[in-house]
Structure 1
Amino acid sequence: MLERTRGKNATEVTFLLPADHPHGQVSVVGDFNDWTPGAHPLAPREDGMRSVSVTIPAETRVRFRYLAEDGLWFDELEADGHDGTNGYLHT
C-alpha cells in the first residue's frame, strides 16, 4: 500500500506492508536510494503494519521494488505502473 503527501516541491511517499507478510526484514529500493538494499527498511507500526517514508522531488518518476530476506524481490500492486521489471511512481 502507498500513502502520498504532496508538497509544493516534493512528495512524501510512505510504503506500507502487513507486519507478517512477507516474513522477516523488508526494504524498499529504487532510484531514490541508488538501489541500495537496507537503505530504507520498513519498521513496525502500532497498527499492525510496517512502513518507511521517502521524500521524492516533485515532478519525478522513480522506479522501485521491495526486497525481502533471502533475496525475494516483489512489486507494489498500487504503483502507478510497471515497466516489466519494476514498479514506478510519478510525483
Structure 2
Amino acid sequence: MNSVEDLCTLISSRITWSRNEDPRSLHADTPLLEMGLIDSLAIMEIVAALDKEAGVSLPDTEIVAANFRTPGTLWTAIGNLAPRSRV
C-alpha cells in the first residue's frame, strides 16, 4: 500500500454501499464513522484486509474508533507504526 488513495480503495471495497451512495466518493477526509459507512464488523474486515493484502498488522491497541474516523486518520495511524508492523 503506497498511498492514502490505495487505502481508500481497500476501505471502499469493504463498505456495503446504498443505492444513493457513490463508492468513488471515498476520499482521505470522508467521515467514515459519522456517515455510518463502517461499523465494528467493517473495521475488523478492513483490519484483516490490511494484514492479508498490504502486509500491515495493526496492533489491538490501534484498533480504536479514533483511527477509523477517516481514511486519512487510518493512514496516519499506519504511518506511525514501527517499520516491522508495516512489513
TM-score (norm: length of structure 2): 0.26
Higher helix share: 2
Structure with more relative contact order (C-alpha pairs < 8 Å, separation 6 or more): 2
Higher strand share: 1
